[in-house]
Structure formats: C-alpha cells, structure tokens
C-alpha cells in the first residue's frame, strides 16, 4: 500500500511489539519513521528493514516523555518533507506494586508516556493524516485498561484513557477517510514485564500480535483483540472474563 511519500510513524519501535509492528508494516511495503530513545537500535533496525523489504526508513531518537515530543517530531518531519498517513502510538511503560510504595516520579513518567505522548503526537499529526488519501491511527492500549487493576493502578488507568480517547476520536472522525483503531494486547513475550518489575506466565509472541494488529487495522477494524489472548496475569480472571464477555463476545476467545 506504499505511496512514494507516505510514511508510517511508529513509537517505541526499537523493541517488543513496536519492533514487530515495524517488520509487519515493512512487509506490507510501507515506508517507515521509527521513533524510540536508543539510536543504535533504531539505526540497526533501519538497515535490516531497508535491505530486506526495499522500503524507505527514517528514524528519530528521542525520549518520548519530553513535554515537547509531538511538536519536535512533527517539525522534524516537515523539515524533511515526510508525510505521515499512518500513526502507531505504541510506546508505553508500566509499573507493578503497591501505589504508595512505588516511586512517584516513575509513576508520573508512566502518565507522561502512556497519555501525554499519545495526545501530543495525535494532535500534531492528525491534520496531516486527514489530508492523505487514506489515513490510519493505531493506539496500543491493553486488556489491563478494561478494568481498574490493583497493584498497577496508574498503568491500568492510563490504558483506560487510551481506550476512551481512541473511541472518542473514532466518533469524531467517523465521516472522514481516517481509520482509528485500538489494540488490546494481553501478556506478550517482551521485556515489558521486566521493566514493570513483574513477570508474565504464558504470553503471546509479539510478531503474532503485530500481524493481527496491522491486518485488522488495514481491514478497518476499530477494536483489535489478538485471538486466544492470554489475560494480563495480575487481573482476577473471574472479573475480567465477566467484563470483557459483555463487551466483545465475538472478538475474544477467553479460556
């Protein structure tokens, strides 16, 4: 679906689901803008994707928790003449533990990345995306955002914001050429749980999550649940099963 000067911008692209989203988009012949904090990983990924898929790849290393992140990345794209028709807000972090015992600055950083960064990037790039022939926004939430999650109170609350923000945008853009979708991963085999000071049991492979996400996004699906999803380990399953079954009985196979 690549058009000469259309680019897909992916945040958190250097590892985990973000990296696999980059590979899946490259396979679909999309030009890419990769955004993450670690420049050497982005540079290495750029080389691999360009060589294997013969696409154009740009990268921008930045701390995505910066307050000016949306404006900074947008201005850089404009200066380089890069037109974004797909925005994938993937970057996110979480912390697990008792709220009062977790470091406050770290919890505020979760809010900055999981909420402020998505709002900022979407605000700056939405007009550009609307002006393309066909546009897409994919926000990565979590099944943890479907229910208040004890011992991950800030994380689950931020992911709930992502879900509601996405649904609101879907309504506002329902008559436009922009598809707005939300991805709800469960436990996924990445280093997320190491960063969050917890551990997943059985988890989905990130390449499978990425494939399902992009295939369904391109087909116009607005709520994307990987099939046979592994529930987030810390949520009481009896509660989560009841919550999700009411919402999405046809989209989710819960065992």
Q: What are 50-102's pLDDT values in tens digits?
A: 999 999 999 999 999 999 999 999 999 999 999 999 999 999 999 999 999 99
Q: Give me the phi and psi of 87, to 5 degrees please.
A: -115, 125
Q: With contact defined as beta carbons under 8 Å apart, do 181 and 166 qualify?
A: yes
Q: Is residue 252 pLDDT above 60, yes or no?
A: no
* The pLDDT of residue 29: 97
166 pLDDT tier (thresholds 50, 70, 90): very high
* The pLDDT of residue 173: 98
* The pLDDT of residue 130: 97
* The pLDDT of residue 121: 98
As beta bridge partners, residue 83 has 6
* The pLDDT of residue 233: 46
Give the residue-averaged pLDDT of 163-192: 89
224 Cβ neighbours under 8 A, 6+ residues apart: 138, 181, 182, 183, 184, 212, 213, 216, 217
Least confident of 26-35, 65-74, 178-187: 178-187
* The pLDDT of residue 238: 47
* The pLDDT of residue 200: 47
Nearest to 33 by CA among 86, 69, 75, 70: 86
pLDDT in tens, 112-137: 999 999 999 999 999 999 999 899 99
Count Cβ atoms below 10 Å from residue 174 Cβ, excluding itself.
10
Place of tokens 């396979």: 27
* The pLDDT of residue 113: 98
* The pLDDT of residue 147: 85
* Domain extent listing, the chain: 6-247
Q: With contact defined as beta carbons under 8 Å apart, do 45 and 29 qualify?
A: no
6-247 belongs to CATH 3.40.50.720: yes
* The pLDDT of residue 52: 98
Nearest to 248 by CA among 132, 175, 163: 163
Strands 57-61 and 31-36: parallel
Give the residue-averaged pLDDT of 211-235: 79
Q: What is the mean pLDDT of the chain?
A: 87
* The pLDDT of residue 190: 54
226 pLDDT tier (thresholds 50, 70, 90): confident
What's the rounded Cα separation, in Å, for the pair 167 and 154?
20
Q: Give me the phi and psi of 44, to 5 degrees please.
A: -65, -45
Nearest to 222 by CA among 251, 187, 196, 254: 251
Q: Is residue 189 pLDDT above 70, yes or no?
A: no
* The pLDDT of residue 253: 41
Catalytic residue among 7, 53, 124, 155: 155
Q: Is residue 3 pLDDT above 80, yes or no?
A: no
Q: Is residue 234 pLDDT above 90, yes or no?
A: no
pTM for this predicted structure = 0.85
Place of tokens 């919550």: 243
155 as an active site residue: the answer is yes
Give the residue-averaged pLDDT of 182-205: 64
Q: With contact defined as beta carbons under 8 Å apart, do 201 and 233 qualify?
A: yes
More confident residue, 24 or 194: 24
């Amino acid at each position: 679906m690549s058009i000469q000067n259309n680019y897909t911008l992916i945040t958190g692209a250097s590892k985990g689901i973000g990296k696999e989203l980059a590979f899946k988009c490259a396979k679909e012949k999309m030009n890419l803008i990769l955004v993450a904090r670690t420049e050497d990983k982005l540079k290495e990924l750029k080389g691999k994707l360009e060589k294997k898929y013969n696409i154009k790849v740009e990268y921008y290393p930045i701390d995505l928790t910066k307050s000016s992140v949306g404006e900074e990345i947008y201005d850089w794209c404009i200066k380089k003449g890069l037109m974004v028709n797909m925005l994938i807000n993937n970057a996110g972090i979480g912390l697990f533990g008792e709220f009062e015992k977790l470091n406050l600055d770290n919890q505020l950083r979760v809010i900055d990345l999981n909420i402020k960064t998505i709002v900022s990037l979407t605000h700056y790039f939405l007009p550009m995306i609307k002006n393309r022939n066909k546009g897409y926004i994919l926000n990565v939430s979590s099944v943890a955002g479907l229910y208040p999650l004890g011992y991950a109170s800030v994380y689950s609350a931020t992911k709930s914001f992502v879900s509601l923000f996405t649904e609101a945008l879907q309504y506002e853009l329902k008559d436009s050429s922009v598809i707005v979708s939300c991805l709800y991963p469960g436990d996924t085999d990445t280093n997320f749980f190491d960063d969050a000071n917890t551990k997943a049991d059985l988890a989905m492979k990130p390449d499978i999550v990425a494939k399902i996400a992009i295939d369904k996004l391109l087909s116009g699906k607005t709520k994307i649940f990987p099939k046979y999803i592994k529930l987030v380990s810390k949520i009481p399953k009896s509660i989560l099963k009841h919550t999700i079954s009411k919402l999405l009985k046809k989209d989710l196979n819960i065992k």
